[in-house]
A and B are shown apart, each in its own frame.
Chain A
């Protein structure tokens, strides 16, 4: 065994310990722990949805007029819709669309927003002014309204709805991270790094970014829920996913017509949205408690 492996073993062990500690702290809060379990469950469902759904053909097309608007039974756990499609299969598959959509939107938002905020805060001056005024412009619209306008402009489809969400969401991250960078930048270790000749990009990404990322993580996990909701809202308004995509918001939209005859039609996708959003919010709160030293309970 060389020296290298000894050092790296210790380091890995320590990192694992830190991770364990964070997980332990997360699990301390029962609600967060439950949310974490449910989210893991939802992710698994999203991944294996095409395999486990009882009626794969019902996800998109397939019309079975003889089975239309059946109430929940053992064959059709969540009942059927007006075209006789199994709602359980559709809602299950909808998990995949909603989670993936919101993950893409948040990831892209971070990818655009974080470097911009980092640059604005680090360089200051003109770059800061320029970026932050653009951000201010975006932030002066209510996010849902802006997303609606962009989605309407791009034309209604799932991809365009996600693009609209990215465009209306990145400024939040930029503003959040810029504020952090401005304060971290003045810390002694950043000046010290500068004094021993560390290049700017390394100071930005190695010294500043890791020190200001935790509020962004919290915000992103809260946003995962918020974006599921907004994506569903866009689809509900007809600006997002188009039939026959089994998007939760879209299913609720089509269920409006049968609201009095078939209660199960709107309730189950609504419950799905409710659970997903609630869990992400709980997880976000839990993460905040763990990551923010001010609320840390030891």
Chain B
């Protein structure tokens, strides 16, 4: 089951007039059928780029995929023709976007939009499409389905809109749902509702979810496994429990707010910052802010290494510690 969905050596770069900037560099990331994988990271870590490169909807002149494979059900999505990809989008893999306020077309009613998608993709006639739309609206638990169908997006609240968007995204029978910060502009109670809905739909329709957010706590609520993204690299992957209880990468620890600040090192980091040393100069992308950095982090790029059954991490210090532990345990 491990090869249901797999990303291998994916490298995405943006080309500007000055230089080529690598924004995403993923060695290995896989999704098991039926699970929810949470991807967490700060703004600019490349979360949305990851989502968009899976569906190949990155705006192509600045962005280009250098190399890599995205394997979905044995097919490499990156080698498919645009026409074949068109059949994957919506029908196999679907996506929910960040901002529910602007993801719906303002000039059509909600019903027209759902029916439009359904009619086109399932080749239904008007009457069946309408039934299908009603079913979808009931599926996302909106009350008064018939009246909702006739409403324009501006007459709905953010939470309602996000539910409609989920309905549209799932209306063509997608089995992998990419949720790109679906709760970003919603307030906390509505967030909870939307999260609960996604979770319920996941069980009901047996779909796989790639959940992207920059809020760690949200991620822990919804996901089975968590991948932490930092500057385009996956630095730690593990089950929610593992990441929550025993995060090992210094960045993850800081993200969860459990790292005591070491004065000496933080002064050092500040000095680096003043000297305008950028992380691009070092192999480890977290070098500049790392409080546990070592000499070797400057020159050797760490590799995502297995440290537990399901736990992978990308840090020299942690990896070395693990190796030492193992060697000491052997010598005993």
Residues of chain A having any CB pair with chain B under 8 Å: 2-4, 6-7, 10-11, 14, 187-189, 191-199, 202, 206-207, 210-211
Given contacts A10-B150, A196-B168, contact A188 B86 (CB under 8 A): no
Stretch at the interface among B68-76, B109-117, B294-302: B109-117
Q: Dominant SS at the A interface?
A: helix
Among B64-114, those with CB < 8 Å from A are 86-91, 94-95, 97-99, 102-109, 111
Known: A3-B130, A195-B97. 4 other contacts (CB 8 A): A7-B150, A195-B52, A197-B91, A198-B90
Inter-chain contact B99/A202, CB cutoff 8 Å: no
A residues in contact with B134, CB < 8 Å: 3
Q: Which residue of A lies closest to B168 (CB)?
A: A196
A125 to chain B, nearest CB (A): 8
- CB neighbours (8 Å) of A192 from chain B are 95, 97, 103-104, 165
The answer to whether B117 and A194 touch across the interface, beta carbons within 8 angstroms, is no
> Considering the chains assembled together, what is the distance between the CA atoms of A188 and B57 in angstroms?
12
Q: Across the interface, do A197 and B57 meet the contact criterion of CB distance under 8 Å?
A: no
- Of all chain A residues, the one with the shortest Cβ separation from B82 is A200
Q: Which residues of A contact B174 (CB under 8 A)?
A: 196
**Residue in B95, B102, B147 whose CB lies within 8 Å of A189:** B102
| Stretch in contact with the other chain, from B120-128, B218-226, B324-332 | B120-128
The residue of chain B having its C-beta at the shortest distance from the C-beta of A186 within the complex is B59
Q: Give me the interface of B with A, judged by CB distance under 8 Å.
A: 52, 55, 57, 86-91, 94-95, 97-99, 102-109, 111, 116-117, 120-121, 126-127, 130-131, 134, 146-147, 149-150, 165, 168-169, 172, 174
The residue in chain A whose Cβ has the minimal distance to the Cβ of B101 is A188
Q: CB distance A195 to B94 under 8 Å? A: yes
Decide: B97 and A197 in contact? CB cutoff 8 A.
no
Give chain B nearest CB distance to A90 CB in angstroms: 44
Q: Which residues of B contact A6 (CB under 8 A)?
A: 146
- Residues from chain A with Cβ under 8 Å of B108 in the complex: 206, 210
Residue of B nearest to A196 (CB): B90
- How far apart are the CA atoms of A198 and B150 in the complex, in Å? 22
Give the chain B neighbours of A197 by CB distance below 8 A. 86-91, 121, 172
Docked-complex contact A195 and B90, CB < 8 angstroms: yes
Q: List 15 A-B contacts (CB under 8 A).
A: A3-B131, A3-B146, A4-B127, A4-B130, A10-B146, A187-B102, A192-B165, A195-B57, A196-B117, A197-B89, A197-B121, A197-B172, A199-B120, A206-B116, A210-B105
CB neighbours (8 Å) of B88 from chain A are 197
Query: Max chain B CB contacts within 10 Å: which of A2, A7, A196, A202?
Result: A196
Judging by beta carbons under 8 Å apart, are A191 and B117 in contact?
no
Give A18's nearest chain B residue, CB to CB.
B152
* The one of A196, A199, A206, A211 that contacts B106, using a Cβ cutoff of 8 Å: A211
**Nearest chain B residue, comparing its CB with the CB of A9:** B150
Given contacts A7-B146, A11-B150, contact A189 B105 (CB under 8 A): yes
B127: A residues at CB distance < 8 A: 2-4
Task: Please name the residue on chain B nearest to A4 by beta carbon.
Answer: B127
Is B111 in contact with A193, judged by CB distance below 8 angstroms? no
Using A198-B117, A210-B108 as known contacts, say yes or no to A188 and B94 having CB atoms under 8 A apart: no
Residue of A nearest to B169 (CB): A196
Q: What are the nearest 9 A-B pairs in CB distance?
A: A197-B90, A197-B89, A196-B90, A188-B102, A195-B95, A210-B107, A10-B150, A192-B103, A189-B105
- The CA-CA distance from A196 to B94 in the complex, in Å, is 6
* Bound-state Cα–Cα, A191 to B169, Å: 13
**Are A7 and B111 interface neighbours, CB within 8 A?**
yes
B94: chain A residues within 8 A (beta carbon): 195-196
Contact assessment for B172 and A14 in the assembled complex, using a CB-CB cutoff below 8 Å: no
Min CB gap A188→B, angstroms = 4
The docked-state distance in angstroms from the alpha carbon of A188 to that of B104 is 8
- Give every chain A residue within 8 A of B99 (Cβ-Cβ): 188
A194 to B117, CA, bound (A): 11
User: Closest approach, in angstroms, between the C-beta of B102 and any C-beta of chain A?
Assistant: 4
Please give, as numbers and ranges, the residues of chain A lying within 8 Å of B86 by CB-CB distance. Answer: 197, 199
Closest to A12 in B: B150
Which chain B residue shows the least CB distance to A10? B150
B165 (CB) vs chain A CBs: closest residue: A192
Residue in B closest to A208 when the chains form the complex, CB atoms: B105
A89 to B203, CA, bound (A): 77
CB-CB under 8 A from A10, the residues of chain B are 146-147, 149-150
